[in-house]
Amino acid sequence: MIVPSRGITRVRTPVAGHGAKSLLSPKTPVALSIPRADGIMCQMSRTPILAASILAADFTRLGEALQQVQEGGADWIHIDVMDGHFVPVLTMGTPIVEACRRATSLPLDVHLMVDDPESLIPSFVGAGADSITVHVEAVSHLHRCLESTRRQGVRVGVALNPATPIAAIEEALGDTDLVLVMTVDPGYSGQPLIPATLDKVRRLRDRLQAAGSTARLEVDGGINTDTAPEAARQGADVFVAAQGIFGHPHGVAAGVRALRASLQPALA
């Protein structure tokens, strides 16, 4: 099944050894050479993806907000699921994912900030998630979790918190479609980006390139028109923004456009 949406094509197709896998890729990938502070050029072969996090959306007008996000040119909808245990906040569940699925054709990027994510994954897949990201800190057997999730027909990701070392996920880099670097401690929207996490982005990009991995490198937390270019220079290619989009003074669509425009100098 192919569902057209802005900037990407969603394909669900059997993949040898992995069952049905959801593949999300740009329609017109381009080669990008990103200059970093250390003078090394970070090679990226795909266009950047903007993921609008509904954590900062007005839930009384969620459908309208999703349409504005799509009109502004966002690529994904990012949905932060928090259980009040792994992080101190309790947020949204499968009914919100189902509502988003009805309201937009954009891929739904579900980020599980929960204990025991394996028990919840099937329900979120059934609700319409296109990708599921779990935290390495919350999973005892990461390889098994990623493989079982992939067999359910979605893209898989692994996230790590600011203080979690890259070594915690290094053995699983070949098993994931996406690595999410938390650039704030998870739990609250509107926090400022932790500067030290940008070096982690750089080191992860180096390791992904050395391994020949095609995994996307996502940043989440404090991403706005000031910080997104810095993350791009370090090798990030998926940018999650909540307040930076939904809190924009000129509206949601303008927030998306401003964020994309801010990346152009970093990718020139």
Question: What is the CATH number for 250?
Answer: 3.20.20.70
Give dist(CA 181, CA 98) in Å, integer: 26
Mean pLDDT of the chain: 86
Q: Is residue 239 part of a domain?
A: yes
pLDDT tens per residue, range 155-190: 999 999 999 999 999 999 999 999 999 999 988 778
Residues with a catalytic annotation lie at 80, 220
Give dist(CA 84, CA 63) in Å, integer: 26
* Strand bridging mode 41-44 / 49-53: unpaired
Q: Is residue 12 part of a domain?
A: no
pLDDT at residue number 268: 75
Q: Is residue 227 part of a domain?
A: yes
Tell me the one-letter amino acid at 110.
Answer: V
Overall number of domains in the chain: 1
pLDDT tens per residue, range 36-85: 344 433 444 468 999 999 999 999 999 999 999 999 999 999 999 999 99
- Give the range of the structural domain holding residue 163, as residue numbers without chain letter: 28-267
Q: Is residue 6 part of a domain?
A: no
Give dist(CA 17, CA 149) in Å, integer: 13
Element (H, E) at 100: helix 94-103
Q: Would you tell me how many other CB atoms lie within 10 Å of the CB of residue 101? A: 16
Q: Is residue 119 part of a domain?
A: yes
pLDDT at residue number 17: 33
Mean pLDDT, to the nearest integer, of 25-39? 39
Q: Is residue 22 part of a domain?
A: no
pLDDT at residue number 140: 94
Q: Is residue 16 part of a domain?
A: no
Please determine, for residue 108, whether its predicted confidence score (pLDDT) is greater than 60.
yes
| 8 Å CB contact between 34 and 233 | yes
pLDDT at residue number 46: 66
Edge-to-edge strand order for the sheet containing 19-26?
Answer: 2-5, 8-15, 19-26
